[in-house]
Amino acid sequence: MPVQWAGLSPALLLTVDRDSGDRLCAQLERQLRDAIRSGRLQAGERLPSSRELARILGLSRGLVQDCYAQLQAEGYLVTRVGSATRVADCAQPAPPAAAPRPETRPRLIADFRHGVPDLASFPVPDWLWATREAARTLPTAELDYGDPRGSRALREVVAGYLRRVRGAAADPALTVVCSGYAQGLSLTLRALAHRGTRIVAYEDPGGPDTARAAAEAAGLTAVPVPVDESGVDVRALDATGARAVIVTPAHQWPTGVVLAPDRRHELIAWAAGRDAYVIEDDYDAEFRYDREPVGSLQGLAADRVVSVGTVSKSLAPALRLGWLLCPPALVEPLTDLKRIADRGSPALDQLALARLVESGRYDRHLRRMRATYAARRTALVTALAQHAPAVRLSGLAAGFHAVAHLPDGRDEATVVAQARARGVGLYGMSDCRTSKSALPPQLVLGFGNVTERAISEGIAAVADLLGGEP
């Protein structure tokens, strides 16, 4: 379907060479034919008016009209009374034969994809209000490139929010706004590499592919460190020789365990003793159900912890807004790297987020989503208890995913493949392990973007695969 350009006359790049010896009309006809044949002008697309094209090229209107008439006679253009001149539907060659279509997958009854919030619950009215308010009160100076650390208004709001809600030692001057977790991690690893770090550790199970890719891009080596029921194994970490580690202390991804108090102190002592840094991924700290919230690790050691936060889980990944709480020694190199990367994140979006948070609408949205996710968590627990009681769940105290421990003898890959054939998206823990081992057989069940009804129907549809009755 062609783009329907608005306005009186859509722009079109054409040139004429008055010194070439070719007739001007012939040059114009040739360029328009080539543009149509190559697909630069699509079938049904509108051309500039003859008057406007003549003005732009410095030609007589009659010459352009003659050109259009010739191409219309050849079948390249069509003109209707009261309508613009357009490219004819049959003017372009047929596209090459399409490759054979892959076998279509059945429509999913339920997709337990993890890491995705309820996209349908994005607070559109509140975001529109915040954007209007930000634009209405926008100082002219904010339209310049500005501070690469980000808008001062957002940094102040974020710092105040994190001090209040996460117990962080947040300072606007030491805060850098970034485009989501991926950029925040990349900037941090590059800054550490410039300071001499060569090895970065990451939790296993965790996000091995993400960690390795980010480390390789920064010129670092990524090594796994095991996680047990108390969180990351600090003794194993010390043995790696790493001088940086990526952790998810409030709700370990994907096991769901909380970094125990003694491990927190061990980790901070390790960082101080090794002149190392901890990169804290505070990815879903807003959603807690069965226990009190766990404070940010950064609040205990602001000089050794880089805390990465975003609104990808609380609002939507598409916003691409996050922040880094930086140790004093890293704020300048991180600011320089951010300046090189993109000169700063979009100012209007930053100001809109600041308005959303300080108005209380952000907190109101989070309260609503806690209730939504709690209801979906209950639906998952109930469905498994009813249809597959042999499956044990863990990691449910926070966030919007859980770990399903399959009975012995179940093959994780087979369960995932057969569930997909039945229209249910399941995801194995093996994808989160560095070794890709499927033992013990476990599933990571995300319930953030799936309704209560779909949860019940989806679990019922694969009950026998999970260890229940067909």
Residue 54 belongs to a domain with what CATH number? 1.10.10.10
3-state class (DSSP) for residue 122: coil
Q: Which residues contact 230 (CB under 8 A, 6 or more apart)?
A: 257, 259, 260, 262, 263
pLDDT at 470: 55
> Measuring CA to CA, which residue among 248, 237, 245, 235 is closest to residue 206?
248
Sorted by sequence, the CB contacts under 8 Å of residue 438 that are 6+ apart come out as: 411, 412, 413, 428, 429, 430
Per-residue model confidence (pLDDT) at position 428? 97
Amino acid (one-letter) located at 381: V
Domain housing 70: 24-87
| Average pLDDT score over residue span 248-272 | 95
Alpha-carbon separation of residue 320 from 190, 382, 400 (angstroms) = 20, 35, 20
Query: Strand, coil or helix: what is 414?
Result: helix
Same domain, 67 and 167: no
Q: What is the pLDDT of residues 202-249, one digit of tens each?
A: 999 999 999 999 999 999 999 999 999 999 999 999 999 999 999 999
**Per-residue model confidence (pLDDT) at position 94:** 61
Dist. CA 377–CA 42, nearest whole Å = 49
User: Could you tell me if 354 and 376 lie in one domain?
Assistant: no
Confidence of residue 294 (pLDDT cuts 50, 70, 90): confident
Give yes or no for residue 6 having a pLDDT over 60: no
Asked if the structure places residue 328 within a domain, the reply is yes
**354/134 Cα distance (integer angstroms):** 9
pLDDT (0 to 100) of residue 378: 96
User: Looking at the domain assignment, is residue 9 inside a domain?
Assistant: no
Are residue 309 and residue 423 in the same domain, yes or no? Answer: no
Say how many domains are in the chain.
3
- Residues 315-361 have pLDDT tens digits of 999 999 999 999 999 999 999 999 999 999 999 999 999 999 999 99
Residues in a beta bridge with 397: none
How far is residue 208's CA from residue 224's CA, in Å, rounded to a whole number? 8
3-state secondary structure 380-407: HHHHHHHHCCCCEEECCCECCEEEEECC
Considering 359, 385, 417, which residue would you say is the last residue of a domain?
359
- Does 60 lie in the same domain as 142? no
Phi and psi dihedrals of 247, rounded to 5?
-135, 160
Stated as kind and residue range, the H or E segment containing 279 is strand 277-281
User: pTM for the complete prediction?
Assistant: 0.86
Identify the residue whose tokens are 């697309």: 45
Whether 338 and 258 map to the same domain: the answer is yes
Query: Do 308 and 451 lie in a common domain?
Result: no
- pLDDT for 98 equals 63
Query: Same structural domain for residues 246 and 376?
Result: no
CATH number at residue 163: 3.40.640.10
What is the mean pLDDT of the segment spanning 252-268? 95
- Judged by average pLDDT, the poorest of 9-23, 260-274, 395-409 is 9-23
Band (106; pLDDT cuts 50, 70, 90):
low
* Of 287 and 95, the one with more pLDDT: 287
User: Is 312 within a domain?
Assistant: yes
CATH of the domain at 460: 3.90.1150.10
Q: Give yes or no: residues 354 and 372 share one domain.
A: no
Which of the 8 DSSP states describes residue 97? P
In a domain? residue 58: yes
Tell me, yes or no, whether 417 and 305 share the same domain.
no
> 230 and 336 share a domain?
yes
Q: Which of 359, 383, 403 is the last residue of a domain?
A: 359
Same domain, 171 and 268: yes
CB 187 within 8 A of CB 354: no
Q: What is the pLDDT of residue 7?
A: 54
Tell me the mean pLDDT in the region 9-27: 85
Check whether 438 has a pLDDT greater than 70: yes
